[in-house]
């Protein structure tokens, strides 16, 4: 689930810290602003209708080997994505872009490297 969320709403702890530092650095120039901080989404506005009805088809167009990489690990891609965070404003306003995105996760899977984010497999969400 965590890997999937890099498609539309997640960021790493490291990227979050870097975003705060970027905001502190730019605060004297910009004053006050509110930003969404999220991994850069690979989706465009043209994808939104299809993301809701068939997210796997959109993902397959953008990342042809994603399904195979996920299946090899027993993971599933999302069938539907109803919300996508757009971090474009922070890129324009602060010049900040998260370093880790969905493509980085797929690269780690392809190369059999550890995931590029912190993960505690024994953690259970309070909502569980």
Taking the model in full, what pTM does it have?
0.87
Q: Which of 27, 43, 46 is nearest to 35 (CA)?
A: 27
What are the tens digits of pLDDT across the range 106-119? 999 999 999 898 87
Q: Collapsing DSSP states into helix, strand and coil, what is residue 38?
A: coil
Q: What are the structural domain ranges in the chain?
A: 2-110
> pLDDT tens for residues 5-54?
999 999 999 999 999 999 999 999 988 999 999 999 999 999 999 999 99
**27-34 contacts, C-beta under 8 A, 24 or more apart:** 30/93, 30/94, 33/89, 33/93
- Helix (H) / strand (E) containing 31: none
């Amino acid at each position: 689930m965590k890997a999937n969320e890099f498609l539309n709403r997640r960021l790493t702890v490291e990227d979050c810290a870097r975003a705060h530092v970027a905001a502190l650095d730019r605060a004297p120039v910009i004053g006050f602003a509110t930003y969404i901080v999220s991994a850069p989404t690979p989706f465009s506005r043209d994808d939104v209708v299809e993301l809701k009805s068939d997210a796997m088809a959109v993902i397959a167009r953008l990342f042809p080997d994603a399904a195979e990489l996920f299946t090899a690990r027993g993971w599933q891609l999302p069938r539907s994505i109803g919300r996508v965070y757009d971090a474009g404003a922070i890129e324009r306003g602060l010049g900040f872009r998260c370093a880790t995105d969905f493509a980085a996760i797929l690269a780690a899977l392809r190369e059999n490297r550890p995931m590029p984010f912190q993960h505690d497999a024994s953690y259970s969400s309070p909502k569980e």
